[in-house]
Structure 1
Amino acid sequence: MHCNLLEFYFALFVFPLLHLSSVSAQTLSAMDTTIQLNATQIRTNYSKQLNIHTFTNSVSAVYNFNRFTVNAGNTFNSTFIDAVSKNIRDDNTFFIDSRYAIFDQFKLGGLFRSRIVTDNRRIGLSDVSENSFELIAEYAPIYNISVRPVLGYKLDKQLEQNDKGFIYGLNSIFDNVNLSNYLFNSNVKYLNEEIGRRNNITLNSSLSVNKHFTSDVFNSFNFEFNKITRDFYLKLDSAKADFFGSDLNIETRDDDVLMLSENLKYNNIFNFMDFEFIGGLYFRNVERNTLYKLTSPPSKNVFDTRIDEFRLNLGTRFKLRLGDFNSNFKANYTERDEKHIVKNISEIPENFYLDRVEDELKKNNSSVRFQLGSESAYNLVNHDTLYLNLFLSKLVYNTPSISNFTNKSNIFRDDRDELLYIARLTYKKFFSKFFSASIFVEAYMNHLVYIYAERSSNNNWNRVIRLASNSNYTDKVLTSSNSFEVLANYTIYDFEDILNTVRSFSFRQFSFTDTTQINLSKVFFTTVSGNIKLSEQGSLNWRSFSTKPARYIEEYSGELKLGYRLNHLSFFNLGIRTFRYIESRFEKGEKVENSRIESIGPVFDISVRFREDLYLIGTSWIEYISQSSKSTRRIVNFNLRILLTI
């Protein structure tokens, strides 16, 4: 099945597009037609990582035949997992869209779309196909206003059920319509698919109104409403299938979203400050309804549900320019509320309904978040720059009151407050046009506080301190980049003195990375890269600031490669790659090795630009892995990317 689909894919989609793109100019002239090839692009990716093979190919082409335009494309994705239970999943999407300009304001055309999904696991929607053809008329009375009615037919397969039916819709576009110096942009797209027992509706609508009051004052208002309704088949067990006379149920999912936003910009206030205000409202309603509901025996799982979500966002930003000093300040306030609602069924006893209401009530939540932040830069002498970043965030998360529940013993409230501080200081220095370096220190502190006793044992402070530096050197012979970092991460529980179930812990890490390339001649070069990472985990006593290490991890990796340049954009190199991982535990203060993984093997890289329009990039490496008390394994890894633009 997998090979047949691959052969079908190349025969039907790739080769015809390649053939059309290779038609000579003389042949086109003989056809007595002027054909302009705008673009044909082919992308191919293949990757093998461990036992997972991934193949992706996409082909797209646009052609203009005088008043006739064709736009076609195909994307094929295939994943093969070579395990005890082998899995193959293929997903192919194809479209061809054509338009003929009967006259400048009116076009008539057709759109064919196809999608085929196969998966040998047979889980969920593992065998799906969609094929549709649409007739499209496009009328544009003026250049920035157009109306496009659509009428078509669709064949759809889901859970081995074949459906067919008509589809119809309308698309209207207003593009930069100027009314009294207000710019209006609008796009409304409606599509209805009546296919068999299912009905799919898509409505996307947007409106934006923009106004430049002066060269420094700008306002934008945006409105967006989207409605998506989808019907899905669900398998029924034999008892329900006999009762309803159908082995398939239908689940309808409605998703309605309304968004309103306002953006006001005021630049060059007093010639050194910019101001921006952002506000937005977001409403979302998600409903899930099933067609067949078995009311006997009664169950709380048979009820349909609805989710109502609301968000409010208010934000402001200031930008200051004071000579060598520049700074951005921002503040943001966000509210969010989510409610889960159960739809009652009169035929089911009320106690089942109330049980389901309580289950959904546990999911209700609301939150308020306030954020402050600043990014500042000060240019020192000799192009040196000092950066300071500050960030503060406060989150208040609430759940329903316990008084709303009948069975209060099973309620674990998640109400909490979170306070986050981040500060980073960076110094960057340019020693010359060849060499630059930077150093930064960062402090991160987060306090998590659960309000109620049932979760308060998890209250903690998380403190992280990072010290890092990096440098870059580049000239005609040598290119080198390295980074160094020390990290300390401490998690301290608020009540560990009175609770034996929680213990504070620490995580410390040192890492160093270096990549250096040396040009040995005009065509030969060598690349050396290495990475060292040492980590320690253990328990922590914050008051005495002492730790008891429990786990120690060492990671070492490196590559040495010799390369050859075909030209300034193409090269290949060959080398060796090594990796070592050692995990140890501590016994009586001494390290005892738990496990060790080592690998070594060849690596090959290639990057070739054959012509202006053809690229090939590939990487392959083989790992011979030895592991504690296990035999040596060989793993081949491979990545290949090809891009062809005609």
Structure 2
Amino acid sequence: MRKIFLYILILILPILITAQVPSDSLNFVKSRYSSPLLSSNFEKQLQTFNFSQKFIYGKQMEDLFIGVNQTFNSTIIKSTTISVRDNAFFSVLGQYDFSSYLSVGSAVNYNVYADDKQLAINNTSVFNSTAYLKYFPIQKLNFTPFAGLSQNEQIGITNSGPIYGLEALLDNYSFNEFDLFSEFKFQIEDITPRKNQIINLNFNLDKTFDNSYRNELFGLYSEQRNDFYFRTDSLTMAEFNISKNIQSRTERRYAIIDKLSMATSVSGLTINIDGGIDWRTIDRDTRYISTSSINNSNFDTQVEEFKMNFSSSLQYNSQWLNSIFRISIANREEKHKAKFISGASEILFEKGDEQEKRKNNNGNQITLSGESVFSLTQVDKISMSIFHRKLVYDTQSELNFDDRDELLTMFEIKYFRNMTPFFDLFTGLQGSINKTVYILKERSANNNVFRVLKLIAGGDIHMQYLSSKNSAEVSANYTVYDFEDLNPNLKSFSYRQLTLRDSTSLKLYRTTYLKFLGYIKFSEQGDFNWKDFANNPVRYLDERFAESTIEFRFKHLSFAFGIRHFSLSTYLYDDKNIKTINTIYNSSAPLSIITYSISNKLDLSFRGWYEFINNETNQNNELANMILKLNWNF
């Protein structure tokens, strides 16, 4: 009980810690604090506890601005051991405007991550305090130099040092019918013996011609270096007198994208064309390397990635037809290589380099897609969509056997009809086929075809006192291997399922409602022979869920109580295709729901149920579950 009280207390009294924000975003801008919000969420289901919170608040008091931005996420999993993972970040900013050209301010940021799992980096924290000067040479352009101190802790080692840099923002500056937006950030965190660095520049240039043509050009350059501690071998520790080694990860990226939209002379018809190229390199460099302990996995590495994309779409909108057709082509190439270490054996380096080159790959993909909605009459609509993709994946190394071709086709057709002012009917058919072919014999046994076919139908009743949504769905999945006759470990299989769903709300009185939510699923898994289209069932599942509540509504408060039931029974088939019970899971629980809401400003909700569980061995268990949410847009 004490733990539950503490969780509720945490939800109501916001703590000053928040989730991570992207490290390359601008830090000294008021927009990060401009949307006041308090949001808390606590969930306890089975043996997993999740708590999250977000708090944003900014206040302009004449020439002084103060802002706070924080979020906190925590996960606790109870099994044979207790696993805890926390992630938090807190940011506060204060700024005083001397004039429309000059402002000064300070900011504090605190970031912490903790995980009790035995990971390479399972505990880190970063605290920095900075002062800055913001200068506006023109109305929508500002430069912000900053400097301060940073304290960075990683796996038990704390380093401190100066943090300094420059930010610049050009916020939708208009000239000659062009709109230009651009951000720049340069930051160095000099925490000897480590050093972290960020360089980021991006721009977006937008121009509209005669309200018929629009062109957007986007460019990006970024460079980010991070130094990490990691555990090392005893020889390196003794030779360099260190307790932990340091690895630098430097990522550089260049990208340019252009988008063109054109309105044609045909009413409702537009053409969109976009294309772009993207380069990226990732360097990993180890600070201390002992030549006496080098093996083929000790070499530092470099990854080069190149991507090129092109797409075009044709869109048509009219009173009776809305349609879009799109084609896209994408190419991606990735190269890996090892870096030579002075004093290392050439033979070991060649082995290490060959090991990295096994990861080299190239992918080419072409995609065709289309979607149309036809309004046949005022009460009849048909929607159709199709998606087709071909992927060619090649590897250059003779020791990599992952070369393959993939062909995926998906389609959907749906029919909607407004039968009466109170009843809508829909039915549809969905399907897909995915063919995977491995080129080399070493993996060709995995060649397969995956087919899915699904039929769905349902209705929607919407009356003053009754609303109900119902659907029925039948699906069949078939996975067929090309060479299962040659490999006894591979068997084609099928998965078939029937699902019935219902959601109904009945107004009994002015403030009283009766609600029901439930579904039934019958599933069958089995071995499958595509040639004879014959199925040999192996496993059968019977899954049922129902939730019935009676709800009372007042001005801002609603209260509901009822019963929640869930059951899952599994069966196995014997040699005579007779199914026998394998496992049983039954759960019944009293349920209560409380919601407090004031327009779109404040929402507070509680949902809890206490389960009584039994299984096929008649073992009984009890389990409490709770979900508590608070959202306040103040």
**TM-score band, normalised by the shorter chain?**
over 0.9
What letter corresponds to residue 525 of structure 1 in structure 2?
Y
Measured in 2, the distance between the counterparts of 1:96 and 1:546 equals 66
1:207 aligns with 2:183: no
C-alpha separation in 1, matches of 2:499 and 2:34: 49
Q: Which has the larger displacement, 88-97 or 525-534?
A: 88-97
What aligned pairs does 1:43-62 form with structure 2 within 5 A after superposition? 43-62=39-58
Overall identity of the aligned pairs, in %: 28
**CA distance 1:175–1:573, change in 2 (3 Å):** same
* Mapping of residues 148-547 of structure 1, within 5 Å: 148-321=144-317, 323-402=319-398, 411-547=399-535
Superposed CA deviations along residues 287-342 of structure 1, whole A, max 9, x for unmatched, are 11110112213311210001111111010000124551221110000001011110
Q: Secondary structure at the match of 1:257?
A: strand
The number of aligned residues is 613
C-alpha RMSD of the superposition: 2.3
Match of 1:31 in 2: none
Q: Paired residue for 1:571, among 558, 571, 577?
A: 558
Distance verdict in 2 for CA 1:506–1:121, change over 3 Å: closer
Question: 5 Å matches for 1:549-564?
Answer: 549-564=537-552
| 1:32 counterpart residue number | none
TM-score w.r.t. length of structure 2: 0.92
Q: Deviation of residue 383 (structure 1)? A: 2.7
Distance 1:462 1:91, change over 3 A: closer
Paired residue type of 1:214 = D
Do the aligned residues in 1 keep the contact of 2:430 with 2:454 (CA within 8 Å)? yes
Q: How does 1:70-149 map to 2 (within 5 A)?
A: 70-121=66-117, 123-149=119-145
- TM-aligned CA deviation for residue 437 of structure 1: 1.9
Does 318-327 or 193-202 show the bigger shift? Answer: 318-327
Matched residue of 1:61: which SS?
A: strand
Compute the TM-score of the two structures, normalised by the length of structure 1.
0.91
Shift of 1:244: 1.2
Match of 1:586 in 2: 573
Asked if 1 retains the 8 angstrom alpha-carbon contact of 2:235 and 2:290, the reply is: no
| Secondary structure at 1:381 match in 2 | coil
Change in Cα spacing, 1:599 to 1:545, as seen in structure 2 (3 Å) is same
Where does residue 30 of structure 2 map in the other structure?
Answer: none
How far 1:237 moved relative to its partner? 4.3
The aligned amino acid for 2:106 is G
CA distance in 1, matches of 2:244, 2:294: 20
Q: Contact (CA 8 Å) 1:238, 1:247: kept in 2 or not?
A: no
Structure-1 separation of matches of 2:197 and 2:597 = 46
Distance 2:99 2:68 in 1: 23
The one-letter amino acid paired with 1:144 is K
Partner residue of 1:633 out of 617, 621, 624:
621
Cα 1:74–1:399, aligned 2, differ >3 Å: closer, same or farther?
Answer: same
1:630 positional shift: 5.3
Structure-1 separation of matches of 2:544 and 2:293: 62
Does the Cα contact within 8 Å between 1:412 and 1:454 map onto a contact in 2? no
Q: Mean alpha-carbon deviation: is it higher for 79-88 or for 424-433?
A: 79-88
Cα distance, 1:501–1:10 mapped onto 2, change above 3 Å: closer
Asked if the contact 1:472/1:482 (under 8 Å) is kept, the reply is: yes
* Bigger shift: residues 44-53 or 75-84: 75-84
Cα 1:593–1:326, aligned 2, differ >3 Å: closer, same or farther?
A: same
Mapped to 2, the partners of 1:612 and 1:428 lie a distance apart of 32
Worse-matched range after superposition: 72-81 or 134-143: 72-81
Q: Are residue 63 (structure 1) and residue 37 (structure 2) matched?
A: no
Shift of 1:371: 0.6
- Larger mean CA deviation between 82-91 and 246-255 belongs to 82-91
Shift, 1:546, TM fit: 1.3
Contact 2:273/2:312 (CA < 8 Å) preserved in 1?
A: yes
Q: Which amino acid aligns with 1:132?
A: N
1:20 counterpart residue number: none
Once the two structures are TM-superposed, the CA of residue 572 in structure 1 deviates from its matched residue by 1.5
What SS does structure 1 have at the residue aligned with 2:532?
Answer: coil
Query: CA deviation digits over 1:167-195, x for unaligned, max 9?
Result: 11111112222333222221111111111
- Structure 1 runs, 4 residues or longer, greater than 6 Å off: none
Cα pair 1:310 1:337 within 8 Å, conserved: yes
Code of the aligned partner of 1:108 = V
For 2:384 and 2:280, locate their aligned partners in 1 and report how far apart those are by CA, in whole Å. Answer: 38
Deviations 1:369-420 (A, max 9, x none): 0111110111012331111111111111101152xxxxxxxx3511111111
Amino acid at match of 1:320: Y
Secondary structure of the residue aligned to 2:444 is: helix
Q: Could you tell me how far 1:152 is from its partner in structure 2?
A: 1.1
Structure 1 segments unaligned to the other structure (5+ residues):
18-36, 403-410
Structure 2 equivalent of residue 609 of structure 1 = 597
